[in-house]
Amino acid sequence: MDGRTIVPATLLLVIACGDSTPAEDLTDDLADDADTGTSEGTDEVESESESDTGPIAESLAHEIDISLVEINQGIATPIVVAGEWIGPNDRNAQIVGNRDSLLRAYWTITPEFEPREILARLTLEPPGEDPVIREQPLVIDQESFAGDLSRSFTFDILAADMRSGTNFSISLWEVDPAFAALPAPELPPISPRDGSIAPIGIQPELLTIKVVLVPLVANWPNCSTEVPIDEVLGRFHDSLLMKNPTQTVELAVREQPVVVDAAPVSFWTLLPAIQQARVDDGAEPNVYYYGIVDACTYELAGFGGMAWNIVSDEKTADFERVAVGLYLANDLEWTTDTFVHEVGHLQGLFHVECPGKDAAGPDASYPYEDGVIGVWGFGIRDFELRSPTAAHDFMSYCYDGNWTSDWTWSKTFNRVRTLTSWDAEDGGGPSQPQGTLLIGMLGDQGGEQWWTIPGEIPATNLARDRVHVRAFAGDEVREPNATWHRPPEGDATIVTVELPGAAMPDRIETFAGPPAVWQPRAIDRD
* Chain residues in the site for Zn ion (CB under 5 A): 488-489
Is-contact 513 466, C-beta < 8 A? yes
The CB-of-511 to Zn ion minimum distance in angstroms stands at 32
Q: Which is nearer to Zn ion, 155 or 409 (CB)?
A: 409
Radius of gyration of the chain measured on its C-alpha atoms: 28
Say whether 425 sits in a helix, a strand or coil. Answer: coil
User: Which H, E and C letters describe 488-519, residue by residue?
Assistant: CCCCEEEEEEECCCCCCCCEEEEEECCCCEEC
The CB-of-358 to Zn ion minimum distance in angstroms stands at 11
The CB-of-396 to Zn ion minimum distance in angstroms stands at 9
Q: Which is nearer to Zn ion, 264 or 488 (CB)?
A: 488
Q: Which is nearer to Zn ion, 488 or 520 (CB)?
A: 488
Q: Which is nearer to Zn ion, 327 or 394 (CB)?
A: 394
The CB-of-345 to Zn ion minimum distance in angstroms stands at 6
Q: Which is nearer to Zn ion, 456 or 489 (CB)?
A: 489
Query: Please, which residues have CB within 8 angstroms of residue 317's CB and are 6 or more apart in sequence?
Result: 285, 309, 311, 458, 460, 461
Is-contact 76 406, C-beta < 8 A? yes
- Distance, CA of 266 to CA of 281 (rounded, Å): 25
The CB-of-43 to Zn ion minimum distance in angstroms stands at 54
Q: Which is nearer to Zn ion, 19 or 489 (CB)?
A: 489
| Cis amide linkage into residue 192, ω under 30° from 0 | yes
The CB-of-342 to Zn ion minimum distance in angstroms stands at 7
Q: Which is nearer to Zn ion, 235 or 357 (CB)?
A: 357
**Which helix (H) or strand (E) is 162 found in, with range?**
none
Is-contact 241 380, C-beta < 8 A? yes
- H-helix segments, 2-79: 20-38, 42-51
- Distance, CA of 104 to CA of 107 (rounded, Å): 10
Pair type for strands 167-174 and 202-203: unpaired
Is-contact 195 249, C-beta < 8 A? no
**Which helix (H) or strand (E) is 322 found in, with range?**
strand 322-326
The CB-of-489 to Zn ion minimum distance in angstroms stands at 5
